[in-house]
Amino acid sequence: MVRSKWVYRKLRNFRTGIEVCISCLKRAYGLARCTCRGLDHFKAYV
């Protein structure tokens, strides 16, 4: 882990933000699980 509480809070908040974005994408586009292989197939799926 990290020694600095400030760095720990920043990393925790960053991870929380990423998880919120993923949750919003899942709700908006119905992306429960991506079974596509590769970026091109994923872009076509979305």
Chunked in runs of 10, what are the mean pLDDT values of the chain (46 residues)? 90 94 85 73 75
Question: What sign results for the dihedral spanned by CA atoms 13, 16, 22, 23?
Answer: negative
Q: What pLDDT does 43 receive?
A: 77
In contact, 18 and 10? CB cutoff 8 Å: no
Q: What pLDDT does 18 receive?
A: 92
Backbone angles phi, psi at 27, to 5 degrees: -70, -40
Residue among 34, 14, 17 at smallest CA distance from 26: 34
Q: What pLDDT does 34 receive?
A: 62
- Residues 6+ away with beta carbon under 8 Å from 29: 46
Q: What pLDDT does 11 receive?
A: 94
CA 46 – CA 36 distance, rounded (Å):
10
